[in-house]
Structure 1
Amino acid sequence: MDRLKIDTDYLIGILEDLLAIPSPTGFTDEVVRRTCAELDRLAVPYELTRRGAIRARLTGDAPRPARAIISHLDTLGAQVKRLKDNGRLELVPIGHWSARFAEGARVTLFSDKGAYRGTILPLKASGHTFNDEIDELPIAWANVELRVDAPGQTCRDLEHLGIHVGDFVAIDPNTEVLENGFIVSRHLDDKAGVAVALAALKALREAEITPPVDSYFLFSIAEEVGVGASSMLTHDIASMVTIDNGTTAPGQNSSEFGVTIAMADQTGPFDYHLTHRLIDLCNAHDIRHQRDVFRYYRSDSASALEAGNDVRTALAAFGIDASHGYERIHLHALRSLAELIGVYLQSEVEIPRDAEEMASLKGFTHQPTDTAPEGA
């Protein structure tokens, strides 16, 4: 079992392609089509749910206990809440993100008549008019509005443009890829995770590796609203590794370098055995890593379990600064994650009993309870 060479030029290129496609939750058809085109190019078979979640499969030596890698294609965004008498639009967020990061954002609004460009502004946006009041306005979605770059001074003007309540608003990513490996953009959560998964999949295909068990690559489309993996798993899938962001901030142990292995999030601990399997693989293959616990965080793992799937879940993350804002990551973390996925999918199954949904105690796992050796 080898640590595969990851094509980082490919990883960055596919990330930039994905970031350029607007895909707030509920408006994901085009990014799904782009991802499917890439799977076609890699000659990986896949199928889609009715709404467009993708389930691709690498056939293994055995069908069970199958493994899954999941990342999500949908991003944060907004919808039109109300057409205002001043020709502006009231918004509500898609997903959980602060209006602090909405102020000043350039956006595209998708109406029945076509797309319009615009800017999200605070209600008091002009210092020449409001002076210090612009700094005293509380941060809230009720205190921002969308200025559409089209003739419209009244609510009736907006209606004439074909703009309606519920129209989707996509936030510009403003992507920058720097020569020192840093990548700055909105929506790195989780298009960077999708790029990692595709880069790992490319490496596996080029190395002509057949995994020991069927291995699925899942791409969900509604993670930001909490239901991403709820209807995507097959009964054969016994373990699922989620690829998503890990927050680098005071009080956290995540890093923008290497892999961050999440031990728990707000929904509770991740699976002990799968999590430690990833840690052991990092140690065995010299993949830099650290562990962290997230207090205000959930992922596709939570939606899979809450939907009733009896599946072991783990979260392997790329460290991200300013999550759900102007995010920053480093290529080192993305490459490290892709390397970990590669060795994980090559590794032998440690818990054969997981092939059955229900079984006897024979082959069931242990967790260590012995006293640690002195001086350990």
Structure 2
Amino acid sequence: MKKLFDEKRTIDLMKKLVEIPSPSGYTEKVMKYIGDLLDEFGVSYRNTNKGAIIATIAGNDQTRHRLLTAHVDTLGAMVKEIKQDGRLKLTMVGGYNWDSVEGEYCTIHTACGKEVRGTILMHQTSVHVYKNAGKAERNEKNIEVRLDAKVKSEAETRKFGIEIGDFVSFDPRFEVTDTGFIKSRHLDDKASTALLLELIRSLTEGQTVLPYTTHFYISNNEEIGFGGNSNIPEETVEYIAVDMGALGDGQASDEYTVSICAKDSSGPYHYRLTHHLKNLCVEENIPFKLDIYPYYGSDASAAIRAGFDVKHALFGPGIESSHALERTHLDSLQATSHLLWAYVTSAMTD
């Protein structure tokens, strides 16, 4: 197979993406960055009313289309309450456990354009003051933000422009190890987004003619359930969500292969399309794992729920500790990149 995976370029793009704050509902900056990148590639695209981007590359067959999507929105929070002591209470954006962000540095993005730094902590953090600090429940009541500002009251906090409804992003802490691991928050799904953008770059640079007109849908509301469920061109026959493989007890997926999902909480994915992906891996010697994700949903399943008559499938890199301190490996990124190329250049399933 043609060498498609440019390690340095992919990692540089991934780092750039994860370092642009983009919790669901606050994605304008990252979408502008992606739009500028597509302009650089010379690929036509349009913006949806919900803020997503759909780029299109024409193929030989313009009557039957393919669509691939990855989402660039991430987990995050919003200011729920400004406490009397000036600290902040939060409400979640997306689904995660509070203990997965305890101790994390964060940024409050105010409506007036200011950014205020802080740390997410338990109210009962100090073991010198709170005897049962370790036993207190990690929940919306006890978790708060300690601002890096001289504030001791609600009024003083408001002077910094902070208001209820302001978005809060978590520091990603992106790192690449000398053993090939990529550690960062928000690899779900910015790892896949980087791979999809690199695929577009490779196709345009090589002036590759695809067998079918193919759309690349960068969605921005997947973490809250309705990212890629609208504006799907009516000619679309196959819909692929490029999203993470979830690792854990009882799972087949790992950090070194591409994960192909056969079923998630929405039910089975399209049988023939799923096995078309599997067969491509076998034919091209791409390391893969078939898996089932019990507590998972994707843009593809959202499209099915919205009533679109498409064949849907899901694959992506294996991500350890999803919705927490995530990690993957270069091997998994490479395998996913190769399957992306094999798929968009292959014939459709019957």
TM-score above 0.5, yes or no: yes
Give, in whole Å, the separation in 1 of the partners of 2:63 and 2:13: 31
Runs of 4+, deviation exceeding 3 Å: none
Alignment of 1:305-316 (within 5 A): 305-316=304-315
Name the stretch that deviates more: 317-326 or 155-164: 155-164
Give, in whole Å, the separation in 2 of the partners of 1:108 and 1:272: 43
Deviations 1:46-99 (A, max 9, x none): 111123201001110121210011000100000011111111111011000110
Give, in whole Å, the separation in 1 of the partners of 2:336 and 2:29: 26
> Per the alignment, in what secondary structure is the counterpart of residue 289 of structure 2?
strand
Conserved? CA contact 1:173–1:186, under 8 Å: yes
Give, in whole Å, the separation in 2 of the partners of 1:53 and 1:270: 24
Partner in structure 2 of residue 363 of structure 1 = none
AA aligned to 2:300 is S
AA aligned to 1:311 is V
Give, in whole Å, the separation in 1 of the partners of 2:337 and 2:63: 23
Query: Shift of the alpha carbon at 1:12?
Result: 0.5
Give, in whole Å, the separation in 2 of the partners of 1:75 and 1:190: 7
Conserved? CA contact 2:4–2:337, under 8 Å: no
Give, in whole Å, the separation in 1 of the partners of 2:88 and 2:45: 40
Deviations 1:126-170 (A, max 9, x none): 112124x11110121221001111121111112222211111001
AA aligned to 1:274 is L
Partner in structure 2 of residue 366 of structure 1 = none
Partner in structure 1 of residue 142 of structure 2 = 143
Partner in structure 2 of residue 251 of structure 1 = 250
Alignment of 1:98-247 (within 5 A): 98-113=97-112, 114-131=114-131, 133-247=132-246
Give, in whole Å, the separation in 1 of the partners of 2:321 and 2:349: 37
Partner in structure 1 of residue 284 of structure 2 = 285
Conserved? CA contact 1:278–1:344, under 8 Å: yes
- Alignment root-mean-square deviation, CA: 1.1
Conserved? CA contact 2:103–2:120, under 8 Å: yes
Give, in whole Å, the separation in 2 of the partners of 1:141 and 1:291: 36
Conserved? CA contact 2:272–2:349, under 8 Å: no
Give, in whole Å, the separation in 2 of the partners of 1:161 and 1:350: 57
Conserved? CA contact 1:6–1:203, under 8 Å: no
Partner in structure 1 of residue 349 of structure 2 = 350
Conserved? CA contact 1:71–1:244, under 8 Å: yes
AA aligned to 2:140 is W
Query: Shift of the alpha carbon at 1:7?
Result: 1.3
Give, in whole Å, the separation in 2 of the partners of 1:321 and 1:349: 32
TM-score, normalising length: structure 1: 0.91
TM-score, normalising length: structure 2: 0.97
> Per the alignment, in what secondary structure is the counterpart of residue 249 of structure 1?
coil
Deviations 1:189-235 (A, max 9, x none): 00001011112222222332111110111100000000011113111
Partner in structure 1 of residue 27 of structure 2 = 28
Structure 2 residue runs without a partner (length 5+): none
Percent identity, aligned pairs only, is 36
Conserved? CA contact 1:264–1:270, under 8 Å: yes
Conserved? CA contact 1:4–1:343, under 8 Å: no
Conserved? CA contact 2:86–2:157, under 8 Å: yes
Query: Shift of the alpha carbon at 1:4?
Result: 4.5
Name the stretch that deviates more: 2-11 or 104-113: 2-11
Give, in whole Å, the separation in 1 of the partners of 2:127 and 2:6: 48
Go from structure 1 to structure 2 and tell me whether the alpha carbon gap of 1:242 and 1:3 turns closer, same or farther (over 3 Å shift).
Answer: farther
Give, in whole Å, the separation in 1 of the partners of 2:41 and 2:3: 16
AA aligned to 2:28 is D
> Per the alignment, in what secondary structure is the counterpart of residue 192 of structure 1?
helix
Conserved? CA contact 1:67–1:214, under 8 Å: yes
Give, in whole Å, the separation in 2 of the partners of 1:248 and 1:3: 29
Radius of gyration: which is bigger?
Answer: 1
AA aligned to 2:116 is Y
Give, in whole Å, the separation in 1 of the partners of 2:149 and 2:231: 41
Structure 1 residue runs without a partner (length 5+): 352-376
AA aligned to 1:57 is T
AA aligned to 2:293 is F
1:73 aligns with 2:86: no
Give, in whole Å, the separation in 2 of the partners of 1:343 and 1:250: 30
Query: Shift of the alpha carbon at 1:335?
Result: 1.3
AA aligned to 1:97 is Y
AA aligned to 2:189 is D
> Per the alignment, in what secondary structure is the counterpart of residue 64 of structure 1?
strand
Query: Shift of the alpha carbon at 1:325?
Result: 0.3
Conserved? CA contact 1:122–1:145, under 8 Å: yes
> Per the alignment, in what secondary structure is the counterpart of residue 92 of structure 1?
strand
Give, in whole Å, the separation in 2 of the partners of 1:138 and 1:61: 58
> Per the alignment, in what secondary structure is the counterpart of residue 244 of structure 2?
strand
Conserved? CA contact 2:74–2:186, under 8 Å: yes
Partner in structure 2 of residue 52 of structure 1 = 51
Give, in whole Å, the separation in 2 of the partners of 1:254 and 1:36: 32
